[in-house]
Amino acid sequence: MLFAYFSPTRLDFDRLDLTLASSIETLASSIEIYGCRRACVWGRAVMSDGIQMQLECGNRVHGDLTEGFWDYHFTSDPLMRYLRDRRLHRALRELDKRGKLDPATQSVLLVCAGVGGEGVFLVNQGFVDVTVSDLSEKALELCRRFDGRLKTRALNAEDMSEVEDGSYDLVLVQDGLHHLPRPVLGFTEMLRVARTAVVVIEPHSGLVARAIGRRWEVYGDAINYVFRWNRNIFEQATRSYLLREDAEVIPCRFFDHNVMVNRTVSKLPLPHKAQVLAAKGIYGLLHFAAPIGNMMVGIVLKPSGPSPQRLVEH
Ligand SMILES: C[S@@+](CC[C@H](N)C(=O)[O-])C[C@H]1O[C@@H](n2cnc3c(N)ncnc32)[C@H](O)[C@@H]1O
């Protein structure tokens, strides 16, 4: 019976008393059973195999202090900035259009945020209260070193139980949920800790991505499935969790491939400014096919007040 609990994906401390849990933790971290990788704990929740892999990978990658290795996140090169920030600008524009953007007063939690590239972007846009969170403490060490304006917090996106409901005005993830074994759980955790809005910048399950998009990402010995969102999944996951018809769900879809566009325009014999215009031109041409694009900037605006659905008579 006890062996069933050792499976990393099945261990559940809520079903065990803490004494038993701590002996299981010790055992599980020192042995492998039925070929499963080791289980370990994050707070009171058990890490699944996928999370343990991401943690080991994150700590290894973020231990690389090679000069220039992290410059991509902080560069002031106009082309790189345009390519890197385009999705974030889109998210801010959508919030602004709906009167939900106020950098001077809103607190932001960034999830799966690595060394804090998105955080630097947001403080440069005028946000004054930005917290960068990640599974990897090593990533957060780098973040603090790179930009002292950012707060940091070690969090497992799938279990942010130490963060109270509605703690941050905006909660944003970019290229992070698809590293989780349970991306929808990460998303509903974001919905829980957000007060005003959640922003999800993740792969979109459009026609092209389904046909030729990458299905698996492998980095050293870490692997993750590329979970792609679409309007339907995004809306259903939101309403199932919030139980509200009046939550606004905004899935913006478009094409985004900064590596390819960078490679293409960098080869053109053009001055720097013109290269940025060329990149904008490429994305402009792809705009007509946006709904089948490979990227989604999804936004959920959380309504305040009691849920009408909860008031429905049974
Ligand atoms: C591809 S990086 C993206 C980093 C950042 N958002 C960016 O775009 O530069 C994915 C990040 O997710 C983090 N990560 C993976 N699993 C996580 C989890 N369960 N909870 C929190 N962070 C996680 C990794 O440590 C890594 O820093």
Angle at 196 between CA 257 and CA 138, to 5 degrees: 55
Atom of ligand 1 nearest to the CA of 73: 9
Q: How far is the CA of 136 from the centre of ligand 1 (A)?
A: 8
Spell out the domains of the chain, with CATH numbers in brackets.
Answer: 2-47 (no CATH), 71-311 (3.40.50.150)
Nearest CA to ligand 1 atom 1: 175
Q: How far is the CA of 275 from the centre of ligand 1 (A)?
A: 30
pLDDT in tens, the chain (314 residues): 222 322 222 223 333 333 334 443 433 433 333 333 444 455 545 567 889 999 999 999 898 888 788 888 889 999 999 999 999 999 999 999 999 999 999 999 999 999 999 999 999 999 999 999 999 999 999 999 999 999 999 999 999 999 999 999 999 999 999 999 999 999 999 999 999 999 999 999 999 899 999 999 998 889 999 999 999 999 999 999 999 999 999 999 999 999 999 999 999 999 888 999 999 999 999 999 999 999 999 999 999 887 777 776 55
Give the pTM.
0.86
Instruction: Give the 3-state secondary structure of the chain.
Output: CHHHHHCCCCCCHHHCCHHHHHHHHHHHHHCCCCCCCCCEEECCEEECHHHHHHHHHHHHHCCCCCCCCCHHHHCCCHHHHHHHHHHHHHHHHHHHHCCCCCCCCCEEEEECCCCCHHHHHHHHCCCCEEEEEECCHHHHHHHHHHCCCCEEEECECCECCCCCCCCEEEEEEECCHHHCCCHHHHHHHHHHHEEEEEEEEEEECCHHHHHHCCCEEEECCEEEECCCECHHHHHHHHHHHHCCCCCEEEEEEECCCHHHHHHHHHHCCCCHHHHHHHHHHHHHHHHHHHHHCCEEEEEEECCCCCCHHHHCCC
Classify strands 168-174 and 107-111 as parallel, antiparallel or unpaired.
Answer: parallel
Within 10 Å of residue 303's Cβ, how many Cβ atoms?
14
Q: How far is the CA of 277 from the centre of ligand 1 (A)?
A: 31
Q: How far is the CA of 305 from the centre of ligand 1 (A)?
A: 33
Atom of ligand 1 nearest to the CA of 156: 20
Where does ligand 1 bind, in terms of residues with CB under 6 Å?
51, 54, 58, 112-114, 117-118, 134-136, 139, 155-158, 174-176, 179-180
